[in-house]
Amino acid sequence: MSFSSSAPPQLSPTLKAMRRVITGLDAQGRSVITHEGQAPGQHENATFKGRGFTDFWVWRKTPQPLHGQEDTGRWPDEFPGPAAGGHVRVVHWLSDGGDPSRMPPIVAPHPPKRAGDGGRSWDRGGGNNFCISDMHKTESLDFGIVLEGQRILVCDEGRTTIVPGDIVVQGGAWHLWDSSAKGCHMAFDMFSADFGPGDGSHGLVEQDLPTLQPAPGMRLPEGVRPQRRVVTIDHEPGRSRIVSDAPSPDVRLDPARPGFALQRIWVAERHPAPMVTESLHLPHVLIPPPTGAVLNVLNVPPDEAWQGRAGVAQAQAWYASIGAQAVATCGSLPGYPYSQRSRTVDFLVVTEGEITLVLDTGHTTLKAGEIGVVRGGNHAIANRSGRPAVVAVASHDAVEGA
């Protein structure tokens, strides 16, 4: 089984090649790999070589179909993504090379101007679009995951430096990215947000909920680092702020797997996503709400840490503990009882180490900086590397069909 596409690959000799794995189903309903290799949807800036983005997956309706035959990563650029769907991409931003004097001039700040496809983004200047973006906001909810390098996230009220593994939940807020120090590769899962009526001054917080914080004295298993979560939003027109910058406050452990942790990051209750300051009060852990999405980070220990002590019964207990019995397929993949099949499209972004994606018909490895697109088929996440791995998993509601 392979993809078709009416659009030719777009490959740049200067943008970093980014590996992508996509799964689907064969004629017997077994999970298979439909694409494995360099993501072909590279878009390089016409002026600044080495600056641009690589598209991994795009969808134009929500819930998105599970069984399409087209490689949507080759579709034309739409920013901030199709209004009825979204996209997953990696942005490539440059450093100043240690010589800020050689950089293009900063665009003078100005009142908000509409931009983007369908006028669904706004900018206020303030950047050079080489290593510093303009101050901008998009009609989207963004899960931003740092893969390499370093960025400074600048809001109207506050700034913070983010490094590999950090995650930003951008709730339609005004923001600027500064990658001057090291340059940056950062993955974004962007999908439409509910901004309500208005022009430039809308997209404000819908529900100002208390942000959850880790319990005092919360201890994680040995080898599991707290997952940093930065949340931004606009409380008033033209005033963005960082409302939370702390470890995930909700961590689920599996007693049968030493070193394993599921660290919850966000729940998008619907599409378009509501503009809220917190979402982890919602019960959805592994299975997203109808038309919605969930983002979790998995700390995956080496297989030898649990194999021989955890089997089907322990795996079933784990899925029951997070309310996901309906997707568990424990025992369907020999040697890997923690298997599942859900009506979702899952984006697997590896931030540390490497994992093995086990399917009905084979397996493949995903290393740090690589992305998998799992379209509903039976699978398990293994770790045969002998070292801990970390993978962010964004699961979006989907429907059967093409």
Say what the pLDDT of residue 4 is. 62
Say what the pLDDT of residue 6 is. 60
Place of tokens 């795009």: 58
Residue 118 pLDDT level (bands cut at 50, 70, 90): confident
Residue 19 makes CB contacts below 8 A (sequence gap 6+) with: 36, 37, 38, 39, 366, 367, 369, 370, 371
Tell me the per-residue pLDDT of 5-43, one tens digit each, with 9 for 90 and over: 667 788 999 999 999 999 999 999 999 999 999 999 999
Is 267 inside any structural domain? yes
Residue 2 pLDDT level (bands cut at 50, 70, 90): low
Is 5 inside any structural domain? no
Is 243 inside any structural domain? yes
Q: How many CA atoms lie within 13 A of 299 on its CB side?
A: 24
217 pLDDT exceeds 60?
yes
201 pLDDT exceeds 70?
no
269 pLDDT exceeds 90?
yes
Is 136 inside any structural domain? yes
CATH number of residue 225's parent domain: 2.60.120.10
Is 300 inside any structural domain? yes
- Contact present, 208 and 146 (Cβ < 8 Å): no
Domain carrying residue 216: 19-399
Is 9 inside any structural domain? no
Say what the pLDDT of residue 402 is. 84
**Chain centroid offset of residue 70 CA:** 21
CA angle 216, 217, 218 (to 5 degrees): 95
Domain count, the chain: 1
- Contact present, 109 and 124 (Cβ < 8 Å): yes
Indicate the pTM of the whole model. 0.97
Q: How far is CA 143 from CA 46, 231, 289, 290, in A?
A: 26, 10, 17, 19
Is 294 inside any structural domain? yes
Is 255 inside any structural domain? yes
Q: How far is it, in rounded angstroms, from Cα 288 to Cα 276?
A: 17
